[in-house]
A and B are shown apart, each in its own frame.
With several copies, the nearest count.
Chain A
């Protein structure tokens, strides 16, 4: 299965990339997606995760075709 991963704001700078495309053979959690994509990087605490533009917990399962996003706490308004 194939998913897209997006990074925003300071996390995009931390990762050094705004997106990754990943292919897996088995089902993964959001946390495992982070580890697969960025194994060598420290995960900044408070990092938020979304699947298809909805907030999710880090143990949520991703499905084929999902868009996963990681980003720091939001600071709009």
Chain B
């Protein structure tokens, strides 16, 4: 299990490969890997968006991410998981979040990945501020439902 907060652009597939090659638990038992990758779009709520800054609460972020994983583990028999989340200045098409869940059976991996993503969006202290084409900035005030 690993949690990473990264302040620069990252390639989610490189990160997953590295994790699988060096840290992954329970290899022979894994039948299902479910991944979710959230990417910054170039539009939101009707406006062109040119960039974003992502603030967080260091320490509480990691604590709440661990809680998301612990809760998922209590609900499904997952074998391993990895969460990586960006902070700092982000441009469109860059990855904001990667969630990976490994399990023996596919239903558990699907359920746990989605659960962790929804839990992250509602409980982990990250805040997005968008830069619009007009040079205006605006805080994103609430997450859309999943």
What residues make up the interface of A, taking CB atoms closer than 8 Å to B? 6, 8-10, 50, 53-55, 69, 71-77
Q: A76, B56: Cβ atoms under 8 Å?
A: yes
Q: B142, A75: Cβ atoms under 8 Å?
A: yes
Number of interface residues, chain B, beta carbon within 8 A: 29
Q: B60, A74: Cβ atoms under 8 Å?
A: no
Q: B59, A74: Cβ atoms under 8 Å?
A: no
What residues make up the interface of B, taking CB atoms closer than 8 Å to A? 38, 54-57, 59-60, 63-64, 85, 96-97, 106, 117, 120-129, 139-143
Select from chain B the residue with minimum beta-carbon distance to A54.
B63
* 18 A-B residue pairings within 8 Å (CB atoms): A9-B129, A53-B60, A69-B57, A69-B60, A69-B125, A71-B57, A71-B125, A72-B139, A73-B141, A73-B143, A74-B121, A74-B127, A74-B143, A75-B121, A75-B141, A76-B54, A76-B121, A76-B127
